[in-house]
Amino acid sequence: MKKLCLTEKFYSGCAGGCERMNPGLLACFSTAPKYLLRAQCPSGVRIRFRTDARKLELRFTFGDAVRNVFTTDIFVNKRCMTLEGEGPHAVELPPGEKTVTIHLPHLVLIRKTELFLDDNASAEPLKPEGKTILFCGDSIMQGMVTSSPSLAIAPKTAAGLGMDFINTSVGGARMNPEHVRETALLPGDLMIVALGVNDAILKTDFGLFRENTGKSLQELVRFSGEKHLILPIPNTMPSTPNLEKYRDIIRDVVCRYPEIHVLDGYDFFPAEKENYFDGTHPDDRGAEIYANHLIKTIGGKK
């Protein structure tokens, strides 16, 4: 088998080269190693190509992990198979030309990715999937607890809308104008901001939160495409007794910006235990509920 040279043309979901984050975005999360690790994970990054190969071999070398989730989703002509661990993984492919999309493991650093095809097989990178969504959020939008990468909210939403996407969401992210600004500078047609839960958990001063929200929304309105803001979904953990106060601050500030479409998480995400992994993060089923609402709402505006 021959090794495929994975240039950046084969990658989707990247803000810089073959990486999810560019230096400006990484700088937003350089205050603590745990946040930087989450930012460096390739959440939403995909390898996409067309090939006539009958066999594929995939190998990873992993670094540190945020969660013990080491799954890879491979879509062959839109049919999904899920692999576990570093590999090597040997995959039989159907005859003829087919499209392959590999959703990289989303909660672990990947030190090396190696892809091998039949000796005589051809492979060419796929063009972007229509328009691009930019997701700017926290661990909920990063997909911190979903069991495989394509089940997270961002990829499910983008797939449902037939769009490409870049996900700059990071577990632990608070309302941060620099995070919003750096995301808004990326090439995209639609941007979704979903922040505020960690401010409630970590008890950000109300005045500071109002200031950061105002500055963040000022950055969002500079984005030339369609703009959406999601108010935090219910949090059933006892650590956020003042979540409604933070939600009220966001509501109050966003009223100044009629060009921003507001979606209230309380309206579409039921506060039921079976939708959560831990009372804060939607599980696979919860992520599907969340994504389906975004698909319906955003798709209805087209």
Q: Do 247 and 152 fall into the same domain?
A: yes
4-17 burial, b at 16+ Cβ within 10 Å, e below that, comes to: bebeeebbbbbbee
Overall domain count for the chain: 2
Q: Do 287 and 235 fall into the same domain?
A: yes
88-115 burial, b at 16+ Cβ within 10 Å, e below that, comes to: ebebebeeeebebbbbbbbbbebeebeb
- The reported pLDDT for the residue numbered 129 is 75
Q: Do 106 and 10 fall into the same domain?
A: yes
Q: Do 186 and 50 fall into the same domain?
A: no
The CATH number linked to 143 is 3.40.50.1110
- Distance (Å) of CA 122 to CA 3, 50, 87, 272: 12, 8, 23, 49
Cβ pair 8, 18 in contact under 8 A: yes
Cβ pair 198, 169 in contact under 8 A: no
Q: Of 73, 107, 125, which residue is a domain's last?
A: 125
Q: Do 220 and 267 fall into the same domain?
A: yes
Q: Of 125, 156, 179, which residue is a domain's last?
A: 125
Q: Of 125, 150, 178, which residue is a domain's last?
A: 125
The CATH number linked to 60 is 2.60.120.260
- The reported pLDDT for the residue numbered 302 is 47
User: Containing domain of residue 102, as a range?
Assistant: 2-125
Q: Do 55 and 90 fall into the same domain?
A: yes
Q: Do 159 and 276 fall into the same domain?
A: yes
Q: Do 100 and 224 fall into the same domain?
A: no
Cα–Cα distance measured from residue 218 to residue 212, given in angstroms and rounded to the nearest whole number = 10
Q: Do 138 and 56 fall into the same domain?
A: no
Q: Which two tokens stand for residue 276?
A: 């959560």
- The reported pLDDT for the residue numbered 130 is 84
Cα–Cα distance measured from residue 274 to residue 14, given in angstroms and rounded to the nearest whole number = 33
Cα–Cα distance measured from residue 128 to residue 80, given in angstroms and rounded to the nearest whole number = 19
Q: Do 49 and 86 fall into the same domain?
A: yes
Q: Which two tokens stand for residue 161?
A: 């809308």
- The reported pLDDT for the residue numbered 240 is 87
Q: Do 256 and 169 fall into the same domain?
A: yes
pTM to 2 decimal places: 0.96
Q: Do 93 and 174 fall into the same domain?
A: no
User: Percent helix, strand, coil in the chain (nearest 5)?
Assistant: 30, 30, 40
**What is the residue-level pLDDT of the chain in tens, covering all 302 positions?**
899 999 999 999 999 889 999 999 999 999 899 999 999 999 999 999 999 999 999 999 999 999 999 999 999 998 999 999 999 999 999 999 999 999 999 999 999 999 999 999 999 999 887 899 999 999 999 999 999 999 999 999 999 999 999 999 999 999 999 999 999 999 999 999 999 999 999 999 999 999 999 999 999 999 999 999 999 999 888 778 899 999 999 999 999 999 999 999 999 998 888 898 888 899 999 999 999 999 999 986 54
Calculate the CA 80 to chain-centre distance.
18
